[in-house]
């Protein structure tokens, strides 16, 4: 609110009475529904990555143990390891069977799940869908330790990909609770903190595996025990937290989103100019009663002259119909963030899956083994804690002056910068017989900074694109990001180690795609 120090927004929820969304980001508080739901959103995504979809503990749990432990236990060939990593971190990839040079015959589990989850979120709300996915995803995570063949590894990994759909619920949940002036930061923080689970997974799984071996367990038992100890209990615990402490919508139940008076109005420029102020003032009286009362930690902002300035202000998630699906698919605004996310998030997935293997093969020595390669590679995912939120923060900052076009061009700039740096990294690796580890680390961290900031900026833009179908839109963008993971992972799969050529090919693709989508028009606000 006016006159209130900016830092107070970290503690106090200030609510827009028009749509009941929070105009601040009270992440240092747990005394209001906005704070609680924000933390549950990123936590659910975080533990899903820990447990499954190549993201966090579950999604990424296989990767750090692949080079030595699982490879030797399951008697995997080098080709199978490479294809499994493609399968795994390209986000449970496209593989139904691998014979010889490998056949890619079906889309990855996560890609499909994200498309399905989007409409379910629009219909039932993100909280219930988040909890359901965590419970369902715990089943294949628990079965990971029973694997005895390469085929079993592929099957379990595929079904663990279900957990990748938690990204959709995470982003749709924060979008439902936070207003347009902070939604970029809310989405980016939740996504970044959740994605950092991929980095923490390397540390946790390697440390646990080494600890169990040091305590006397044989290698083939230790890696199996690691899955039983970490992923499954955490998934189920967070699912319970989500159901007990989370809420569906600022208005209450998910069905109550349609009861807000503002939800039944249409944005008409002439009407808005002449009648909007008085109509909004009458309507917000009802809304104010919903967020005041027993919750003294929530402040209702005053109704200003520009309370309704964009479609996002009055957007309410609509259940999917064939007509709505068609209009969404043919809308260029759908593909602006989707193709952008293909180049940024897709690239991140491929790097997360392959970086440890690249470093291990480049610098393998008695003093540089699986553990060290995994720890260094974990930095790529860990800096999501800062880089993705920073991209969302810049999106909100630029929005104040330049509106939605500012968010668009920030997203494209990050994608192009990532591409240029990836080209530089690939050229450096190919051009040096013994590339400096320090230089490689600096280059991949700079690439990560723009790559992950681009992801944050992208989901500052997504809420403005088809805002009445945010679940569907988030599912499409997320799935397209996974498709990018498949594309980039296959590039790495079919280029020889140490993958210098794969880096610069991926960079050129990112530059080209982002230049093309720069021509898509966007709304002003």
- The CATH number given to whatever domain includes residue 331 is 1.20.1250.20
23 within domain boundaries:
no
For residues 244-262, average pLDDT: 85
17 inside domain: no
Q: What confidence tens digit (pLDDT) does each residue in 193-216 have?
A: 887 765 566 667 667 777 877 887
Dump pLDDT digits (tens) for 50-91.
Answer: 655 433 444 444 555 545 555 555 555 655 555 445 444 443
What integer pLDDT is reported at residue 62 of this predicted model?
A: 52
Query: Two tokens at 279?
Result: 């109509």
Helix then strand then coil, % of the chain, to nearest 5: 75, 5, 25
Residue in 191, 165, 197 with CA at minimum distance from that of residue 178: 191
pLDDT category, 6, cuts 50, 70, 90? low
Give the percent of the chain with pLDDT over 70: 73
Residue 358, domain extent:
28-256+318-518
Q: Note the pTM of the prediction, 2 decimals.
A: 0.81
Q: Is the pLDDT assigned to residue 274 strictly greater than 70?
A: no
Residue 459 has pLDDT above 50, yes or no: yes
pLDDT at 150: 64
Which whole-number Å values give the CA distances from 277 to 93, 309, 410, in the listed order? 51, 11, 32
Provide the H-helix boundaries in 292-366: 322-329, 332-363
pLDDT of 493: 82
Tokens of 73: 């236990």
Is residue 283 predicted with pLDDT exceeding 70?
no
Residue 501 CB-density burial (10 A; 0-12 exposed, 13-18 middle, 19+ buried):
middle
In a domain, 238, yes or no: yes
Number of domains in the chain: 1
Q: Is 18 part of a structural domain of the chain? A: no
Cis peptide before 57 (omega within 30 of 0): no
> Is the per-residue pLDDT at 515 higher than 50?
yes
More confident position, 234 or 393: 393
Q: Is residue 288 in a domain? A: no
pLDDT at 105: 32
Does residue 508 surpass a pLDDT of 50?
yes
Q: 295 pLDDT exceeds 80?
A: no
* pLDDT tier at 452, thresholds 50, 70, 90: very high
Q: Spell out the residues 6+ positions from residue 264 whose beta carbon is closer than 8 angstroms to its own.
A: 258
494 has pLDDT over 70? yes
Question: Is residue 283 domain-resident?
Answer: no
Q: What is the mean pLDDT of the chain?
A: 80
For residue 220, give the 3-state DSSP assignment: helix
**In this structure, is residue 301 part of a structural domain?**
no
Q: Does position 1 have pLDDT exceeding 50, yes or no? A: no
Mean pLDDT, to the nearest integer, of 110-126? Answer: 91
Query: Would you say residue 221 has pLDDT above 80?
Result: no
Residue 450 in contact with residue 417, Cβ under 8 Å?
Answer: yes
Tell me whether residue 297 is in a domain: no
pLDDT of residue 231 exceeding 70, the answer is: yes
């Amino acid at each position: 609110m006016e006159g209130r120090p900016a830092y107070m927004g970290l503690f106090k929820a200030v609510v827009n009475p028009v749509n009941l969304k929070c105009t601040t980001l009270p992440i240092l508080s747990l005394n209001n529904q906005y704070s609680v739901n924000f933390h549950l959103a990123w936590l659910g995504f975080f533990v899903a990555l820990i447990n499954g979809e190549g993201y966090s503990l579950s999604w990424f749990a296989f990767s750090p143990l692949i080079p030595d432990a699982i490879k030797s236990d399951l008697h995997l060939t080098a080709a199978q390891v490479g294809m499994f990593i493609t399968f795994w971190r390209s986000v449970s990839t496209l593989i139904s069977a691998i014979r010889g040079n490998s056949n890619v015959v079906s889309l990855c589990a996560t890609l499909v799940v994200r498309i399905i989850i989007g409409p379910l979120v629009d219909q039932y709300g993100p909280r219930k869908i988040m909890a359901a996915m965590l419970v369902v995803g715990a089943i294949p995570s628990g079965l990971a330790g029973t694997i005895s063949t390469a085929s079993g590894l592929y099957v379990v990994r595929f079904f663990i990909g279900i957990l990748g759909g938690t990204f959709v619920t995470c982003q749709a949940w924060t979008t439902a609770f936070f207003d347009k002036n902070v939604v970029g930061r809310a989405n980016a923080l939740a996504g970044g903190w959740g994605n950092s689970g991929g980095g923490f997974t390397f540390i946790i799984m390697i440390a646990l595996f080494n600890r169990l071996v040091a305590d006397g367990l044989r290698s083939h038992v230790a890696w199996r025990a690691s899955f039983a100890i970490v992923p499954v209990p955490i998934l189920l615990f967070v699912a319970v937290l989500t159901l007990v402490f989370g809420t569906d919508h600022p208005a209450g139940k998910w069905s109550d989103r349609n009861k807000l008076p503002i939800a039944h109005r249409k944005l008409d420029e002439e009407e808005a100019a002449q009648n909007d102020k008085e109509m909004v003032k009458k309507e917000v009286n009802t809304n104010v009663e919903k967020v005041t009362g027993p919750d003294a930690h929530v402040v209702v902002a005053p109704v200003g002259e520009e309370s309704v300035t964009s479609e996002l202000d009055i957007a309410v998630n609509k259940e999917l119909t064939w007509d709505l699906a068609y209009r969404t698919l043919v809308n260029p605004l759908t593909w602006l963030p989707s193709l952008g996310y293909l180049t940024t998030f897709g690239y991140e997935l491929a790097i997360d899956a392959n970086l440890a293997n690249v470093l291990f093969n480049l610098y393998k020595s008695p003093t540089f083994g699986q553990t060290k390669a995994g720890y260094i590679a974990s930095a790529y995912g860990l800096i999501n804690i800062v880089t993705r939120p920073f991209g969302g923060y810049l999106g909100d900052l630029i929005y104040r002056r330049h509106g939605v076009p500012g968010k668009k061009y920030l997203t494209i700039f990050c994608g192009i910068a990532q591409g240029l740096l990836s080209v530089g990294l690939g050229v450096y690796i190919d051009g040096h017989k013994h590339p400096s580890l320090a230089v490689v680390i600096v280059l991949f961290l700079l690439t990560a900074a723009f790559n992950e900031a681009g992801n944050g900026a992208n989901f500052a833009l997504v809420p403005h694109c088809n805002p009445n179908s945010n679940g569907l839109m988030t599912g499409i963008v997320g799935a397209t990001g996974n498709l990018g993971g498949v594309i980039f992972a296959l590039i790495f799969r079919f280029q020889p180690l140490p993958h210098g050529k794969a880096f610069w090919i991926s960079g050129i693709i990112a530059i080209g795609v982002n230049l093309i989508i720069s021509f898509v028009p966007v709304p002003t606000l």
